[in-house]
C-alpha cells in the first residue's frame, strides 16, 4: 500500500509542474485532462501527508520520553497517536480504491413497467415520484425526455435526466428490477398482487468519451402523443434516433422543438452506447472480482417494496427499512449510504 501511496504522491508533484506550465495550459484539452487527474488524487496525497506527519510526531514523542520533564506530555501524545495512526491507515485504504470515473456525472434514468399490467405501470409512476422527490432534496434538476403514460396515471415507460453534482454516485445502484407487493386500487377482493418495474441509470457522457459516426445514425420524426390526447402536436416534433450498427434506439417527444428533442435524444443515445461499451469491457475482465452491489444487471431483482408490512428490502445487502411512506417520499439516503458502504467494502476486499 505504501509503495502505491509513494507513487501517487510522486505523480501529484509531476502534475503540479505540468498544470503550471504555460505550454500545457495553451493546450486546453490536455490541460483539462491533467487537472481532472490532479483533482482525483489530491485527497489521497493530503491524507498521506497527514499520515506521515502523525508517524513522525510519534517518533519525536518517543525521543521526548527520555526527558523527565516532558515524559508525561510525550506519553499523552503517543496515546493519542496510537489511535489516530490506524484510523488514518484505514482512511487511506478507502481512498486508494479506484474511483468510478462516472460518479460526478449527471444521469439519464429509465423506468419501465414490467410484469403486472396496469399495476406495474402505476408502480413505475410511484418510483418516478420517489426519485423526483429525492432529486428535490438534493436540489437537482429533472427534465423528462420521454414518457408513455397510461389512462390511470401510471407509466409504461418514462425517461428523464437528472442534472446535479454526484447524481450518478448516489443513484447508480438503483439499476435493476424493483418488485412491489400491495393491494392494487383496482382489486376489489383485497388480494395482494406482485408487480415489477425495471430501472436503468445511465451516466450522461461528453462527446470526448464516446465517438459516434453521424453516418451511422438514422433520424425519424413523428408526432408526439400521450394518454388522453396530452402532449399531442400538430407538427412532427418528436424525434427517434437509431444507431444502425448496434440497433440502439433513443427518442424524445416532450419538447415542442424538434431541435431540442433531437438534442435530448442524442444525449440518451450516447449514454446507452457508453453503457453498452462499459458492460462489454466489464465482461472482458471476468477474472476480476465484481461487486454484487455495483453489477447493475437490469434483470436482477434488487429490491422489494412490501406494502402490507411497510417494509423495503434490498436483496443485495440484506437491508430492510420499515419506513415505507418516508422512503417513497424520497428519503433514500439511509439505503443509498448502506449500498455505497457495501460496495466499498467489497472493492476493498478485492484490493487485499
How does DSSP assign 259-312, residue by residue? HHHHHHHHHHHHHHHHHHHHHHHHHHTTTS---STT---TTSEEEEEETTTTEE
pLDDT (mean) for 129-150:
93
Asked if pLDDT for residue 276 goes beyond 90, the answer is no
Alpha-carbon torsion, ordered 110, 111, 115, 119, to 10 deg = -160
- The CA distance from 56 to 63, in Å, is 11
Asked if pLDDT for residue 250 goes beyond 60, the answer is yes
For residue 137, which phi and psi values (nearest 5 degrees)? -65, -25
- The CA distance from 54 to 60, in Å, is 10
Asked if pLDDT for residue 217 goes beyond 80, the answer is yes
pLDDT (mean) for 173-198:
86
Domain 107-204+285-351 - what CATH class? alpha beta
> Which residues fall within 8 angstroms of residue 313, CB to CB, at 6 or more apart?
303, 304, 306, 319, 320, 321
Asked if pLDDT for residue 236 goes beyond 60, the answer is yes
Q: Are 272 and 202 in contact (CB under 8 A)?
A: yes
Per-residue pLDDT reduced to its tens digit, 155-165: 999 999 999 98
In the chain, residues under CATH classification 3.30.160.20 are 209-284
Lowest mean pLDDT among 47-61, 109-123, 178-192: 178-192
Around Cβ 209, how many Cβ atoms within 10 Å? 14
Q: What is the pLDDT of residue 288?
A: 43
Task: Evaluate whether the domain defined by 209-284 bears CATH number 3.30.160.20.
Answer: yes
Q: Are 316 and 302 in contact (CB under 8 A)?
A: yes
Amino acid at each position: 500500500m505504501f509503495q502505491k501511496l509513494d507513487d501517487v504522491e510522486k505523480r501529484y508533484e509531476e502534475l503540479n509542474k505540468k498544470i503550471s506550465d504555460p505550454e500545457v495550459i495553451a493546450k486546453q484539452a490536455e490541460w483539462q485532462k491533467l487537472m481532472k487527474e490532479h483533482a482525483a488524487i489530491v485527497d489521497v496525497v493530503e491524507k498521506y501527508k497527514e499520515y506521515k506527519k502523525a508517524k513522525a510526531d510519534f517518533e519525536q514523542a518517543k525521543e521526548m520520553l527520555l526527558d523527565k520533564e516532558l515524559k508525561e506530555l510525550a506519553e499523552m501524545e503517543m496515546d493519542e497517536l496510537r489511535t489516530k495512526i490506524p484510523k488514518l491507515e484505514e482512511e487511506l485504504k478507502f481512498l486508494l480504491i479506484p474511483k468510478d470515473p462516472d460518479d460526478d456525472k449527471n444521469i439519464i434514468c429509465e423506468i419501465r413497467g414490467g410484469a403486472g399490467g396496469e399495476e406495474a405501470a402505476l408502480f413505475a409512476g410511484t418510483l418516478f415520484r420517489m426519485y423526483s422527490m429525492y432529486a428535490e432534496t438534493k436540489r437537482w434538476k429533472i427534465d423528462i425526455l420521454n414518457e408513455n403514460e397510461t389512462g390511470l396515471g401510471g407509466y409504461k415507460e418514462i425517461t428523464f435526466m437528472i442534472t446535479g453534482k454526484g447524481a450518478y454516485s448516489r443513484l447508480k445502484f438503483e439499476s435493476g428490477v424493483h418488485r412491489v407487493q400491495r393491494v392494487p386500487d383496482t382489486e376489489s377482493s383485497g388480494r395482494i398482487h406482485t408487480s415489477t418495474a425495471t430501472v436503468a441509470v445511465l451516466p450522461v457522457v461528453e462527446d470526448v468519451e464516446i465517438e459516434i459516426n453521424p453516418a451511422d445514425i438514422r433520424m425519424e420524426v413523428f408526432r408526439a402523443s400521450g394518454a388522453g390526447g396530452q402532449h399531442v402536436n400538430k407538427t412532427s416534433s418528436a424525434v427517434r434516433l437509431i444507431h444502425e450498427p448496434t440497433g440502439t434506439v433513443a427518442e424524445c417527444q416532450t419538447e415542442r422543438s424538434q431541435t431540442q428533442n433531437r438534442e435530448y435524444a442524442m444525449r440518451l443515445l450516447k449514454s446507452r452506447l457508453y453503457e453498452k461499451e462499459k458492460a462489454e469491457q466489464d465482461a472482458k475482465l471476468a477474472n476480476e472480482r465484481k461487486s454484487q452491489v455495483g453489477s447493475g444487471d437490469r434483470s436482477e431483482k434488487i429490491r422489494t417494496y412490501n406494502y402490507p408490512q411497510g417494509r423495503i428490502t434490498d436483496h443485495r445487502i440484506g437491508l430492510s427499512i420499515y419506513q415505507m411512506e418516508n422512503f417513497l417520499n424520497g428519503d433514500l439516503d439511509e439505503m443509498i449510504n448502506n449500498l455505497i458502504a457495501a460496495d466499498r467494502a467489497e472493492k476493498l476486499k478485492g484490493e487485499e
